[in-house]
Structure 1
């Protein structure tokens, strides 16, 4: 199965295309985000490879942010030990999901992995790659399924709350104030 989506950014000028491919032995989430940040052109290509249980195993982000070249690689072993550009990254050890601060695409990963029933909630810790620093930190998140295709998302100990709408593939279609599917 293959699904794709295009988003329009609401907070900055820009667009993104995302693609999900379900393979027999793994899942691939890929895309390209093109946007402007502080008057600098940005283009970030990404690939996330998950096992069949939707646990992040590999990720890659390449591109440019203004004049800065971006080339990041991530690997995660079975014990959830993370390596960032070949170096151990103990700060995010134990995290299951990767979360790109520049994209709504990675919200799909816990949505698919958790398979929450309507009314249920789960707290997760994601290896967050905030933009523009693109350095890992742990981000506590709560996903609460409030409807068939609606989730309340919280992070920052409840200081950031949004109600996300998703499609049948799990892609966010509406992320208030940040992204909207076209």
Structure 2
């Protein structure tokens, strides 16, 4: 499967689970991409802002993610570094609980659901597990998220978060970015 090049910018409007917005910019760095974005949200009466700068290699494996967060509790920052072989350091400290993860998934972001789709390039009818280094919105805590993607046809994928049982059918565009993430976000640009 081949994707069109990423757009220069994209945006999503959060739905249902939270109120907010996400804006992202894509910049090629040779055959890598540098992705910068910001999300804002109101969830259960709490507000937050999450900013991110993420580098992905030619296979769309996340190699570095610098994440900042702000809420009424103050400002936070965390850095994740992947070696490309599924091993991670979080703020410079080895994170063996993330072994086998190739993607960063930000709780606050619809854009990060592009990483496993780009990386795996599934054929129609194929599926695969895609555990991720999952970063929470409010406190930037880094957890392991067990998830599964299955390409059901065209640009549609069945998504399952096996830890909490959340599932949805995600619709992507020709560049491999989410257009519709039911109950979570819809593409605005």
* Displacement after TM superposition at 1:41 (Å): 2.9
Q: Highest relative contact order (Cα 8 Å, sep 6+), 1 or 2?
A: 2
SS at match of 2:123: coil
C-alpha change, 1:62 and 1:133, in structure 2 (3 Å) is: closer
Calculate the TM-score normalised by the size of structure 1: 0.91
In structure 2, do the counterparts of structure 1 residues 118 and 135 end up closer, same or farther at CA, with 3 Å as the change threshold?
Answer: same
Query: Once the 2 structures are TM-superposed, how far is the Cα of residue 63 of structure 1 from its aligned partner?
Result: 3.2
* Structure 1 match to 2:105: 99
Match of 2:34 in 1: 28
Q: Equivalent residue for 2:181?
A: 175
Contact 1:75–1:84, Cα closer than 8 Å, also in 2: yes
**Where does residue 44 of structure 1 map in the other structure?**
50
Q: Which residue of 2 aligns with 1:5?
A: 10
Point out the more displaced range, 21-30 or 80-89.
21-30
Shift of 1:29: 2.4
> In the superposition, relative to structure 1, how do residues 62 and 157 fare at CA in structure 2: closer, same or farther (>3 Å)?
closer
1:139 aligns with 2:126: no
Q: Helix, strand or coil for the counterpart of 1:64? A: strand
- Cα RMSD between the aligned structures? 1.8
| Alpha-carbon spacing, 1:63–1:127, altered in 2? closer, same or farther (3 Å) | closer
- TM-score when normalising by structure 2: 0.88
Q: Is the 8 A contact 1:25 1:52 kept in 2?
A: yes
How many equivalent pairs are there? 182
1:158 CA drift (Å): 7.4
Q: Using a 3 Å threshold, how does the CA distance of structure 1 residues 161 and 2 change in structure 2: closer, same or farther?
A: closer
Structure 1 contact 16–31 (Cα < 8 Å) conserved:
yes
Cα distance between partner residues in 2 of 1:56 and 1:41: 27
Aligned to 2:20: 14
* 125-134 vs 44-53, which moves further: 125-134
- Structure 2, unaligned runs of 5 or more: none
Residues 121-132 of structure 1: pairs in structure 2 closer than 5 A: 121-132=127-138
Whether the 8 Å CA contact 2:145–2:163 is kept in 1: the answer is no
Query: 1:107 is paired with a residue of what secondary structure?
Result: helix
Shift of 1:118: 1.2
